[in-house]
Amino acid sequence: MFKRIDLLIILIMLATSSAYAAQYKNIGRTATEDEIASWDIDVRPDFKGLPAGEGSVEDGEVIWEAKCASCHGTFGESNEVFTPIIGGITEADIASGHVAGLVGNKQPQKTTIMKVATLSTLWDYIHRAMPWTAPKSLSKNEVFAVTAYLLNLARIIPDDFVLTDKNIQDVQKLMPNRNGMTLEHGLRTVNGKPDVKSKACMQNCETLDRITSVFPDSARNSHGNIQLQNRTFGAVRGVDTSLPAATTLEESISRYKNSSLSNENDAVSSAELEMQTLAKNNNCLGCHGVKEKLIGPGFNEIAAKYKTDKNANTMLVKRVKQGTSGNWGDMAMPPQTSVSDADAKTLVNWILKGN
Amino acid sequence: MVDDFNKIGRILPAPENFLDAELTREITNNGLNLERRGFLLKSFMAASAALAGGVALTAKAGVTGDPNILSLPAHSKTLGKPVAANPYGVPSKYEANLMRRESPGLTRVSAASVSFAPLQGLFGIITPSGLHFERHHQGWHDIDPTTHRFMINGLVKNPKIYTMDDLMRLPSVSRMHFIECGANTAMEWGNVAVPTVQYTHGMLSCSEFTGVPLSVLLDDCGYDKKSAKFVLAEGSDGSSMTRTIPIDQALDDVIVAWGMNGEMLRPENGYPLRLVVPGVQGVSWVKWLRRIEVGDKPYATKDEAVHYIDLMPDGQYRQYTSIQECKSVITSPSAGQMLLDKGFYNITGLAWSGRGKVKRVDVSVDGGKNWKTARLESPILPKCLTRFNINWVWDGSPAILQSRAIDETGYVQPKINELREVRGTRSVYHNNAIQSWKLTASGELTNVQTY
């Protein structure tokens, strides 16, 4: 009897201590099927995860012109905002599955279609991340259509093609660089075999004894004045790259002793800098220059054009928010839904003030 | 070259000797009596009066020296600011030159771009959180942590949702690791392209990360030990960044992290949740992490099928390149900097390896002909930055400074020509070559290539 009670106590103690062990009680909960469906959107190279649907080249062209061309160009060829998607492949590549232009750097600018081996990648990425300012806003059929249009621009499928979840496996067999990937390398895992087995020579080691490449003098100030990118005290100073290189140590020493090493002389005022930062943070400066035309008009051009227009302010705020086209050429400006009303007003005011 | 320095620095005579040497000695030997105390007090008041009058008066009194010492600065003579004047502290205003910077012309759109950490001015191995390099694929957001959710699904018995509350109740680990973008030093594959170490190597940072090991969570969901071969990590931002990670690695040292250097992650670094994949390129450290899917095949996502693939000379792309091999760089003196004079300098830099600990770093000042082994400063941790230092006296002649790291696997950081022999010049990613800084007789350092 006595022993039994002891045993019982031991059992109770064991049960208590086991609560500290492996199971994390009351942490997390089971995901619902709807939750998984909402987030589990990835599509694998074998098309696991691809939903049913279809889209034509014809429909794709309409969507492309409205939502994609402003960044990627009408033919997906643009190098203005992002690197080009289309170009650089041949019929022979489609037949072989190896893009010949990749060998020996015959084509310095590699397009997406030259590189990508898996059609699933295009579908997955357009679906999860495009368009740039409104990701995940395309319907599944729209994603099929845009994908079809891209493949048509690359001359992989004909003008009257309708891409579907049923025929996508067949189109995969036409991807121009489908055989262009290799897993034969040592950089996949921590124990992989390195490419190079260098030796740590310590004395009288063999060297080329000449410099093969230098940072050009002409680019000296290309990243701004390096002096202002270093501390104003300590073991070294930043070189004043607004000046040509000093020729002697004495000249260098006199330069750093006489330099104010301050940011005070920066040309841009803080108020102006604040506005430019606001424009940058709202992603305006990818397409508009403050003082020059990029893809869209420069802010200076906009200010000049609407100088006398009393309604310009309200009109431009609306154009920013809702998008616009035809005022400055062919390229449409997509709706900037992520820009707040307050920011849009502040920015338009600043732009119209002229800079 | 090393340990034979002549002088420590240029020391100007200080003006503190307002007591003569003999009196000082006597006080030391015999102590102060009342008479001497009175004399000292008079001397002190005279000296103070002279200081209050400024440099000219001190010169008149025959005292020479640095006015920063002779004439007390305002901060020595006024009341300072109270505690919590900056409830969240900020760096000194004199540090404004050291900041994250973009490389002009590298990208067109700043929401899909890079800002580089100012390695030229950083000390030790921890990157201040505000200077941690940035790489965003579709801009960054400041996400409300109370609405953030983390899902594990795929080949698991029980697909689960965790809130931040759930995750932060779990047993956590804190580990120091480097993170390096696979494209760090990419611009230098073919030739020299950028002016300073901030732009050549600044897609590199190192922090202490706190979070729950991914293995704990995978176990909690009952992952399928037989079929699981890979996991997919996915972010919750617009790009919903996705990367494939082999299951062995996922179970090894990967962390689902919320903490960085003692506080929560910064928004630019994935607040409130990111993946930490030690030794692996930064793109796999998915920020704003929302989901891990367990699968049996790799996913060939955009950033492993269009970008972050390494072009070989035969036209094939290497896919799923991940490991950041052993690498080092001298951070000071480095290109874009100038030496103040001939004499003693501490050559300092960083070394790291995605395959383990750094074992040794050698430094050359003659373009690789002769090398000396540098001091490694503790701590020396696996897949973490290691700081190295070596003494050097510059005699005023031109020099080429290089560093070469060796990791615990015995792998030696290669020369650029050795890498190019295998990978060509268009590989973009994973350039871990020895870096050269050329020092001219004028004291200016520039970025060059030689081997």
Cα–Cα dist A283/A288, whole Å: 9
pLDDT at B58: 47
10 Å Cβ neighbour count for B171? 8
Q: Which of residues 148-167 of A touch B (CB under 8 A)?
A: none
Q: Is the pLDDT of residue A58 over 70?
A: yes
Dist. CA A84–CA A73, nearest whole Å: 8
Tokens representing B183? 């494209």
Classify each residue of A310-328 as buried b or exposed e, where b means 16 or more C-beta atoms within 10 Å of its C-beta: eebeeebbebbeebbeeeb
CB A147 within 8 A of CB A163: yes
Using 50, 70 and 90 to split pLDDT, how confident is the model at B48? very low
* Percent of chain B whose pLDDT exceeds 70: 86
pLDDT at B402 over 60: yes
Question: Does the beta-carbon distance from B312 to A136 stay under 8 Å?
Answer: no
A-chain residues within 8 Å CB-CB of B345? 235
Of A24, A116, A246, the CB nearest to B306: A116
d(CA B297, CA A218): 50
Question: Do A237 and B338 make contact, defined as CB atoms within 8 angstroms?
Answer: yes
* C-alpha dist (Å) from residue A264 to A20, A261, B121, B317: 61, 9, 21, 49
Give the least confident one: A179-183, A239-243, A273-277, B75-79: A273-277
The CB-based long-range contact list for A335-342 (8 Å cut-off, 24+ gap) reads A335/A133, A335/A134, A336/A133, A336/A282, A336/A283, A337/A133, A337/A134, A338/A133, A338/A282, A338/A283, A339/A282, A341/A317
Mean pLDDT computed over every residue of chain B: 90
* Per-residue pLDDT, B110: 83
Write the pLDDT tens digit of every residue in B125-181: 999 999 999 999 999 999 999 999 999 999 999 999 999 999 999 999 999 999 999
For range A104-110, the mean pLDDT: 81
B23: confidence class by pLDDT, cuts 50, 70, 90: low
Of A217 and B48, which is predicted with more confidence?
A217
Q: Could you tell me which chain B residue has the CA closest to the CA of A213?
A: B449
What was the pLDDT predicted at B42? 53
Complex-level ipTM: 0.85
Query: So what's the pLDDT on residue B55?
Result: 37
Asked whether the beta carbons of residue B323 and residue A252 sit closer than 8 angstroms, the reply is no
Please give the share of chain A, as a percent, with pLDDT higher than 90.
62
Average pLDDT rounded to a whole number, residues B30-51 = 50
pLDDT tens, A4-20? Answer: 656 555 555 555 544 45
Runs of H (alpha helix) within B209-258: 214-220, 247-252
Mean pLDDT of B296-302: 98
What confidence score (pLDDT) does residue B407 get?
98
A230–B319 CB contact, under 8 Å: no
For B318-366, write each residue's pLDDT tens digit.
Answer: 999 999 999 999 999 999 999 999 999 999 999 999 999 999 999 999 9
Q: Is A127 helix (H, G, I), strand (E, B) or coil?
A: helix
Q: How many CA atoms lie within 13 A of A25 on its CB side?
A: 4
Quick check: A21 contacting B, CB < 8 Å? no
**What would the DSSP string read from start to end of A101-124?**
GGGGGSSSS--HHHH---HHHHHH
**8 Å CB contact between A78 and A162:** no
| Residue ranges of A 56-75 with Cβ closer than 8 A to chain B | none
Nearest to B312 by CA among A350, A168, A186: A186
